[in-house]
Amino acid sequence: MKTPARAPRPAAAVIGGGISGLIAARELAVAGFTVTVLEASDAFGGCVAAHEVAGLTLDAGAESFATRTTAVVDLLEELGLGGDVVYPAGAGAWLHAAAGARPLPQTGILGIPGDPMADDVRAVIGQTAALRAAADLAMPVGRSLAEGTMSLGELVRHRMGHTVLDELVTPVVSGVHSADPDTLDVDAVAPGLRAAVVEHGSLARAVASLRAAAPAGSAVGGLAGGMNRLTAALVAELADRGAELKLGARVTRIGRDDDGYTLSIGEPDEAVTANRVVVATDGPVAVDLLARLDPDLAAYRPEPGAGVSLVTLVLDRPELDGEESGGGPRGSGVLVSPDAPDVVAKALTHATSKWGWLADEAGPGTHVLRLSYGRLSEAKAAIADAEDAALFATALADAAALLGVDLAEQDVLGWDVVRYAGALPYATTGHKQRVAGFRAALDAFEGLDAVGAWLSGTGLAAVVADTRARTRISVS
């Protein structure tokens, strides 16, 4: 008796091989699909990639993840990397402003203090501004605060005053989001904060409550060897599961028929057919592709995000090996206030101070710094688009100012510039509602979904959780 022929597995295609695309592809492969990943560039991983500087393999993009949920750790465990999760050294970040450099207050969310009268808060904003911020504790909260759209800047200014906004929140938000707090939707960058303000009767108490509810331990984690190992592990597992991984494959059109979808790649005569399709590109590219299926989707096209340039410096400077307080002279890094006249960078990460595994790998006297460039203000954004040599010179001068040491080119063992065009998050006011509308419209297309940071929000934790949830729904 003949064994019945096994039905062919359904086919799935993922457009985009960044981290969200690779995670989506893995979910589809686990669910039993034959998967093809189509990446337009020459490398997988997107903002979770590696580069080599002075003989060290370093993260070219994301170098940590938020630990407010277990989303990333759960994935790392499944990939066999759970034992390599590490946490930053104890030294916190600093704040560099026109008035000088001070340790960043430790009890806040996005720079919003949970205790406006704490010593480290008053050291930055002064007694008068701290008293104004503390008035939030007695100020009535109307339930209307939780309704409609609201920017982060509007909430902080109303509850705690402009000094907290300008001197604490803006530097943190600028460093993390490269955006003005007045342009950012509070619900996108701080989910649950407005509801907590209504519940607890003040912004300070809301921040303190959210901080207390967060998992114990560090707010961020990483991987020994770098977060780029996540990309490598996903690619390796997909290959083991028989997925087809294509680089240099730019999808130009999505067509639909009774059997599913046809994706045109480059030349019109090259195509991939699939029952399931996940679009894992940036927002403008995704909407442009999907609007070919439904022109009404074009209304959801986001503006391209501002670009960012990251300058990595590997230095031979034993003076930075650390002090009694732990870490280098500015802890794990420095956030820069927009009012700082002597620095163009928006942030500096002292990677060998932040990550013990990297300090061990680099060895005594060798230090890895990463400076980030790119703001929405034209005055300081222009440098992000400068030539590499100009960025290097600027980064060296900025690092010296931020760390309080003299630095010269002969101290540099190696350097590199990595650019991400339109890589910053889409979190402007009303964005959450636009995402909901876009996804509701996309629900009309069976077997079609879209994922990525422009939909999920900032950071690996948000991207991992959203991508896995969406692709699990689409394959059920």
Residues 263, 344: Cα–Cα separation, whole Å: 43
Task: Locate 38 and state its tokens.
Answer: 């189509």
Largest Cα span, the chain: 89
Burial of 424 (0-12, 13-18, 19+ CB in 10 A): buried
Residue 3 has pLDDT above 50, yes or no: no
Q: What Cα–Cα distance (Å) separates residue 363 from each residue in 166, 226, 434?
A: 39, 16, 48
* Encoded tokens for 230: 């996540």
Q: 55, 86, 88, 87: which is closest to 349 by C-alpha?
A: 88
Give 370-400 pLDDT, tens digit per residue: 999 986 556 666 777 889 999 999 999 999 9
Decide which of 419 and 376 is more confident: 419
Which pLDDT band holds residue 424 (cuts at 50, 70, 90)?
Answer: low
Average pLDDT over residues 70-85: 96
The alpha carbon of residue 295 and the mean position of all alpha carbons in its chain are separated, in whole angstroms, by 30
Q: What is the mean pLDDT of the chain?
A: 88
Over residues 331-343, the pLDDT tens digits come to: 888 998 877 888 9
For 28, what's the count of Cα atoms within 13 Å in the CB-facing half-sphere?
35
Q: If we measure between CA atoms, which residue out of 109, 114, 116 comes closest to residue 172?
A: 109
Cα separation, 468 vs 464, in Å, equals 6
CA distance 472 to 24: 9
Could you tell me where the DSSP H helices lie in 85-151? 119-134
Which letter does DSSP use for residue 452 in this model? S
Residue 476 has pLDDT above 50, yes or no: no
State the pLDDT at residue 105.
86
CB 277 within 8 A of CB 470: no
Q: CA 195, CA 186: separation in Å to the nearest integer?
A: 11
User: What pLDDT, on a 0 to 100 scale, did the predictor assign at position 9?
Assistant: 61
* Cα 385 to the center of its chain, rounded Å: 20
Position 325 scores a pLDDT of 40
Q: Is 98 exposed, middle or buried (0-12, 13-18, 19+ CB in 10 A)?
A: exposed
DSSP 8-state class, residue 45: B
pLDDT value at 451 more than 60: yes
Query: What's the whole-number mean pLDDT along residues 328-333?
Result: 77
Which tokens in the block code for residue 312? 């990595």
The phi and psi torsions of 315 (rounded to 5 degrees) equal: -115, 150
pLDDT (tens digit per residue) in 266-286: 866 688 999 999 999 999 999
Query: Distance between CA atoms of 12 and 127, rounded to whole angstroms?
Result: 60
Within a 10 A sphere around the Cβ of 245, how many other Cβ atoms?
Answer: 18
Which residues does residue 99 pair with via DSSP β-bridges, in sequence order? none
pLDDT of 107 over the 80 cut: no
Report, at the CATH architecture level, how domain 101-213 is classified. Orthogonal Bundle (1.10)
User: Is there a common fold for 101-213 and 306-420?
Assistant: no
When the candidates are 3.30.300.130, 1.10.3720.10, 3.90.660.20, 3.40.50.300, the CATH number that belongs to 306-420 is 3.90.660.20
Distance from the first to the final alpha carbon of the chain: 34
Contacts of 250 (CB under 8 A, 6+ apart): 38, 40, 265, 266
User: pLDDT-based confidence at 350, cuts 50/70/90?
Assistant: very high
The whole-number average pLDDT for the span 182-187 is 86
Mean pLDDT of 123-150: 90
Q: SS3 for 155? A: helix
- On the CB side of 337, CA atoms within 13 Å amount to 24
- Two tokens at 193? 């904060």
Q: State the DSSP H helix or E strand holding residue 414, giving kind and residue range, or none if neither.
A: strand 412-420
What pLDDT is attached to residue 377? 58
Read out DSSP for 421-438? TT-S---BTTHHHHHHHH
At what angle are helices 152-160 and 203-213 packed, to 10 degrees? 120
Provide the pLDDT confidence category of residue 423 given band limits of 50, 70 and 90: low
The phi, psi pair for 371, rounded to 5°, reads -110, 140
Q: What is the mean predicted confidence (pLDDT) over 404-418?
A: 96
- Structural contact between residues 67 and 314, judged by C-beta atoms closer than 8 angstroms: no
- Whole-number Å distance between alpha carbons of 183 and 168: 16
* pLDDT at residue 17, rounded to an integer: 97
The arrangement of secondary structure in 11-65+77-81+225-304+425-475, i.e. its CATH architecture, is: 3-Layer(bba) Sandwich (3.50)
In this prediction, residue 257 carries a pLDDT of: 86
Closest CA to 452 of 36, 29, 2, 48: 48
pLDDT value at 429 more than 50: yes
